[in-house]
Amino acid sequence: MSISIALTKGRLEKQTVAMLEESGYGIEKLKDKGRALVFPDTKKDIRYFLVKSNDCITYVEHGVADLGVVGKDTLLEGGKDYYEMLDLNIGKCKFILASLPEIDLLNKVGHIKIGTKYPNVARAYFNQKGMDVEIIKIDGSVELSPILGLCDGIVDIMETGTTLKENGLVVLDDVCPISVRVIVNKASFKMKRDEVMTIIEDLERIVKKHAEGNQ
């Protein structure tokens, strides 16, 4: 049976496509995209499409895509109606809590405001810390919000930490690690189990190979 895979476009796209290529999939059309949106595999009965990360979950939850490749950051913030079967170990970064050095946020008495693009992640983190905070949704340049006094701190993704440093923010705590995951539609896993497992196992081999190469 034919399989559809939703890939997250942008930052993660190149690395994901490289892993598929290494697994022996026919991804030539994905490398030379032009204006197309749907790309048939040149070797196997698979079609790929490129979507934004949030949409990746939506396509998989509805079963329009059987599999999706998407960052854990998006998964933590979105729905949960899928199987999360594999860590591709790429696109690695983490969620952190940061603030200006003079604010002792974790020991502050009184009302605390947190700016973030990821309100669910922030809420879960502070809930587990036993802290009641107000969360303010910010859509871009989250680092700006404590500097301008909108918030006491931020929960955001950190890759290198350069942006934080340049804005004079310090990391107070790691919230959780992030990497790229493979998610599977629940019904697809039942109706196309063999096809889905073949792809998962192919990718898993490459993940293991890379892990051994890094040791």
Partner 1 sequence: MNQIRIPFGMRDILLDECTAKKQLQDRIEQVFRSYGYREIETPTLEFYQTYENAFADAQGDFDDREMVKVIDQDGKILAMRMDMTVPIARVCASKFSKIDPPYRLRYCSSVYKMRQAFAGKRSEVSDCGVELIGLDSQHDIEVLCCALDTMAAFGLEDYQLEIGNSDFFKQACRALNLNNVQTKTLADLIDRKSMVELQDYVAGLQISDQASTFFIELPMLGGQPDVLNKALAYCFNDELRQEVDSLLHIYDALKELGYADHVTFDLGKVPHLDYYTGIIFEGFVPGVGHSVLSGGRYDQLLNKFGRDLPACGFGVKLDYLTEVMTPEPEPTVTLYYPLSKQVEALKLARELRKKQPVKMVVRENGDVEVSK
Tokens of 185: 């539609």
How far, in Å, CA of 67 to CA of 190, rounded? Answer: 13
Strand order in the sheet with 134-137: 134-137, 113-116, 153-158, 93-99, 170-178
Spatial separation of the C-alpha atoms in residues 192 and 190, rounded to whole Å: 6
Please pick, from the candidates 45, 81, 159, 201, the single residue that binds partner 1 as defined by CB under 8 A.
81
| Using rule CB under 8 A, residue 79 touches partner 1 | yes
Q: Which is nearer to partner 1, 170 or 200 (CB)?
A: 200
Find the part of the chain contacting partner 1 (CB under 8 A) among 15-23, 107-115, 157-165, 178-186: 178-186
Site for partner 1, residues 5 to 64, rule: CB under 8 A: 58, 61-64
Please tell me whether residue 124 binds partner 1 under the rule CB under 8 A: no
> How many residues form the binding site for partner 1 (CB under 8 A)?
25
Single out the residue of 27, 46, 86, 178 in contact with partner 1 (rule: CB under 8 A). 86
Would you tell me the crossing angle of helices 13-22 and 193-214 to the nearest 10 degrees?
100
CB of 198 to partner 1, least distance (A): 13
Q: Which residues of 86-110 are buried (b: 16+ CB within 10 A; e: fewer)?
A: bebbbbebbbbbbbeeebebeeeee
Does position 195 interact with partner 1 (CB under 8 A)? The reply is no
Question: Is residue 182 within 8 Å of 68, Cβ to Cβ?
Answer: yes
Task: Please say which residue, 135 or 154, places its beta carbon nearer to partner 1.
Answer: 135
Helix ranges (DSSP H) in 102-148:
119-129, 144-147
Polymer length of the chain: 215
For partner 1, which stretch binds (CB under 8 A), given 25-33, 81-89, 111-119, 157-165? 81-89
Scanning 43-51, 138-146, 166-174, 189-197 for contacts with partner 1 by CB under 8 A, the matching segment is: 189-197
Q: Quick one: which of 169, 188, 195, 206 contacts partner 1 (CB under 8 A)?
A: 188
- Gap between the Cα atoms of 60 and 166, Å rounded: 38
Position among 35, 80, 111, 130 found at the interface with partner 1 (CB under 8 A): 80
Residues that bind partner 1 (CB under 8 A): 1, 58, 61-64, 79-87, 181, 184-191, 193
